[in-house]
Structure 1
Amino acid sequence: MNFHIPTAMQLTATMSMIIGLALALTLTGFPATLRQPMRLWVRGLLIQPFSYALFSLRGQVPDWLSIIVANALLVIAFAHITEALRIYSRKSPLTGLMLVLVGLAVVGEILLTYVWPSLYGRIILISVMIGLQASIGVEAIYRKQDSITRPEHLVALMLLVGVAIMIVRVAIVPAPGFMELTMSSPLQGIVFTYAALLPVIATSGFLLMCGERLNKDLARLATIDPLTGVYNRRTMAELANKAIATSKRHGRSLSLLILDIDHFKRINDQFGHEAGDLALCRVVEIMHGVLRGSDVIARIGGEEFVAILPDSNEAAAANLAERLRERLEESDFSVSGWPVPLRASIGVGSMGPSISNLETLLRETDRAMYAAKRTGRNRVVAASTLEKGQDGVAGDRPEISSGSY
């Protein structure tokens, strides 16, 4: 049975249009970071139908429409899909390259239609363009920093199949009687079957990709402080308990820092809450610069932070805390050209015979931090220097327990 190419083209155009319109209706339910690649994908799907519709009208409309414009639209559609995958993978768009490919397609189709008429030449030109764009899309998926998910493998597989088909299409010279793109042949049947399946399978995979990214982002937001990007209170407690268990299991030291920015209310009152937010972010930036990569930073209150220091005894943790305090004091933080001093009181606590769980470690480290507050601020106090029973916590200071995290 002959594969009727014009009918296949019309079917592909209809399917692409329906899927594109359906996907366009779902965009508002996704965050802004995903809406941009999804818009590009939708535009690609909505441009494709016009290309296939013009292909199917070969012989009924002028050649400049059914050949030049149709092929240009096809290359533009794949350019949008390729850019969608790059932006989804957090890569910079290749707008310049895509414009060059579209320009080459238009110029090449004009020359191969009117100057040096060649159907095979046109097939080679567009196959190379589509194969190159599909390869760029595959590269965007497999060269991203995150682990590759199954939906991403699915989309990449569909693009790789397209690349393979384009290579075969270039390698096989059409039979002498093959005069028009709409003529039926086994290879044409494969090409347009793939063209009909691509919008369905690849778009399903792309939607699953976006759904998994959304779930990952939501899970991440549940574990971090949205302003500073460090862990929140609840996640700090989970990570601290794991670190304590590891410390006990392997007999390793473990220390904790509790840092409270001095006179933070004064920054908010004098310069506004936006300046306070900038100060918090600056403190976190300095903490990242001083602490080790294995250390864990969390924001547990308005201007209060915790750092979990694996494999650090109290002396090493106190030295690190002092370097951190000095770096904060020396920082050149300013708001609208006005210098704003950053000072902090830091308490240091370590696991030991009398401190064997998170609740006790937090309580003793918090007492040390508040002792630093009471004795002048902008200093480091270790929990071991406090006399037994000494109350370093002010009367209105709430008790910190692991259960509250």
Structure 2
Amino acid sequence: MNFDIPTAMQLAATMTLVVGAGLAFAASGYPPSLQRTINLWVRGLLLQPAAFVMYALRDHIPDLLSIVAANTLLMAAFAHQMHALRKFNACPDRRGMLAMLVVTTLVGTTLMTWVWPTLGGRTVLVSLAIFALGLLGVIGIYSSRGTRSRPEHLLAVLLGIGMAIMLVRIVSAPTSSALSVVTYSPLQGVVFTYASLMPVLATVAFFLMCGDRLNADLARLAMLDPLTGVYNRRTLDDLGRRAVADARRAQRPLALLAIDIDHFKQINDDFGHEAGDLALKALVERLQLELRAGDLISRVGGEEFVVVLPGVDETGARSLAERIRSRIGESTFAIDGAHVPLRVSIGAGAISPAADDFDNLRQATDRALYAAKRGGRNRVVSVSALDAT
């Protein structure tokens, strides 16, 4: 087989440079949260062409460039990309470890080139460093919580292949210092074929990961109220109907709370709309302290919220509503140094023969809320008490 390693390295340098430059331009279209990790990845990608060119010129430039600088640049490039991968999945920061691998490569290749010249030693050192970087990347993919996307699995497989090749390379390290890193052998052919293809394939996988994350973030944002971060009305309609259907199927209770901030317009008029926004956020924070993880909170209007309580009957819902009203009534929020009181009115209802679907239950709970407002505010009215009058 006629495989010219310098030519392969020149081709890899060209492809990596073109892909890196193109993606550096494309990264500006991503949101800032993804731009930071993409820029790290692209920075690593753009470090690789210089290393590949130095490898290709192994017999034509000084060892300082073709050995020490080339290997160190390659390690720095991989370190940037593994840091980007770990940052993407919010893994613990391992920049110190990554930097140590780069410095070890620099010092080790320097010593093994001029002090104790040994191609086999350099091969083992560089292969171990690449293996360690790949391992940090794989751990970064699988150590975070949540499900893994297919592009993440693909990137893990690509890293795993590289790690396996490095292990074989360590075992088969050349013993003769007369050999050159660009001298062809079947193993060298595999190593440099992988080195030529890996930057492009890994970058495709990484950008597919970013695309999946962007789509997931957009889908999540479409479900949420942008100010308070709780579900919006459209999402409530969908999740609420599902929750009621599940409760009826399992013959379990389900309750709703309709919550409205008292005198909200006055807060806006007296302190400005910023105060109104703070009041909405303060209410959500206090609700989250009182509710369970499986309860659903939604903002359905300007200052009105609905809470879905699976497994809770009306008695339990009223008791919870009284506790929420009391806790909120005891608190204030600050605006421009002034402590502004926060009060709420609450309607409480549960699934019943008269309110056997989500829409009917919403309407019944809303009527109870309006009764609480008409009755003087800062109080709880249940649907059953309303029906009894």
Q: Is the 8 A contact 2:119 2:176 kept in 1?
A: no
Q: For 1:170-205, what per-residue CA distance to the aligned partner results, in whole angstroms no more than 9, with x for missing partners? A: 111315375211111111101000011112221111
For 2:178 and 2:370, the matched residues in 1 are separated by 86
Aligned match of 2:154: 154
Matches within 5 A, 1:2-401: 2-174=2-174, 176=176, 179-387=179-387
For 1:217 and 1:38, the matched residues in 2 are separated by 16
Q: Which moved more, 1:313-322 or 1:55-64?
A: 55-64
Q: Which amino acid aligns with 1:90?
A: A
Q: Which amino acid aligns with 2:132?
A: L
For 1:149 and 1:229, the matched residues in 2 are separated by 25
For 2:198 and 2:332, the matched residues in 1 are separated by 55
* DSSP-derived class of the 2:306 partner: strand
For 2:15 and 2:36, the matched residues in 1 are separated by 23
Do the aligned partners of residues 142 and 335 (structure 1) sit closer, same or farther apart at CA in structure 2, a change above 3 Å counting? same
Q: For 1:52-96, what per-residue CA distance to the aligned partner results, in whole angstroms no more than 9, with x for missing partners? A: 111111232221111111111101100111011111112243222
Q: For 1:240-297, what per-residue CA distance to the aligned partner results, in whole angstroms no more than 9, with x for missing partners? A: 1112212222222211100111122333333333333232222112111111222111
* DSSP-derived class of the 2:307 partner: strand
Q: Is the 8 A contact 2:123 2:173 kept in 1?
A: no
Q: Which moved more, 1:65-74 or 1:244-253?
A: 244-253
What is the number of equivalent residue pairs in this alignment?
389
For 1:184 and 1:178, the matched residues in 2 are separated by 13
* DSSP-derived class of the 1:333 partner: strand
Q: Is the 8 A contact 2:118 2:177 kept in 1?
A: no
Q: Is the 8 A contact 2:255 2:313 kept in 1?
A: yes
Q: Which amino acid aligns with 2:311?
A: D
Aligned match of 1:399: none
Q: Which moved more, 1:22-31 or 1:69-78?
A: 22-31
* DSSP-derived class of the 1:219 partner: helix
Q: Is the 8 A contact 2:256 2:348 kept in 1?
A: yes
Q: Which moved more, 1:153-162 or 1:340-349?
A: 340-349
Q: Which amino acid aligns with 2:362?
A: L
For 1:168 and 1:276, the matched residues in 2 are separated by 65
* DSSP-derived class of the 1:117 partner: coil
For 2:357 and 2:164, the matched residues in 1 are separated by 59
* DSSP-derived class of the 2:384 partner: helix
For 2:376 and 2:60, the matched residues in 1 are separated by 89
TM-score w.r.t. structure 1 length? 0.92
Aligned match of 1:394: none
Q: Which amino acid aligns with 2:262?
A: D
Do the aligned partners of residues 308 and 179 (structure 1) sit closer, same or farther apart at CA in structure 2, a change above 3 Å counting? same
For 1:206 and 1:92, the matched residues in 2 are separated by 19
For 2:151 and 2:198, the matched residues in 1 are separated by 14
For 2:271 and 2:315, the matched residues in 1 are separated by 37
Q: CA deviation at 1:336?
A: 4.1
Q: Is the 8 A contact 2:19 2:200 kept in 1?
A: yes
* DSSP-derived class of the 2:355 partner: coil
Q: For 1:331-352, what per-residue CA distance to the aligned partner results, in whole angstroms no more than 9, with x for missing partners? A: 3532344322221111111111
For 1:271 and 1:71, the matched residues in 2 are separated by 62
For 1:248 and 1:348, the matched residues in 2 are separated by 18
TM-score w.r.t. structure 2 length? 0.95
Q: Which residues of structure 2 form unaligned runs of 5+?
A: none
Identity of paired residues, percent?
52
Q: CA deviation at 1:387?
A: 4.5
Do the aligned partners of residues 177 and 78 (structure 1) sit closer, same or farther apart at CA in structure 2, a change above 3 Å counting? closer
Q: CA deviation at 1:319?
A: 0.3
For 2:83 and 2:384, the matched residues in 1 are separated by 58
RMSD of aligned Cα (Å): 1.7
For 1:177 and 1:87, the matched residues in 2 are separated by 40
Q: Which moved more, 1:170-179 or 1:338-347?
A: 170-179
For 1:315 and 1:221, the matched residues in 2 are separated by 34
For 2:119 and 2:57, the matched residues in 1 are separated by 16
Aligned match of 1:400: none
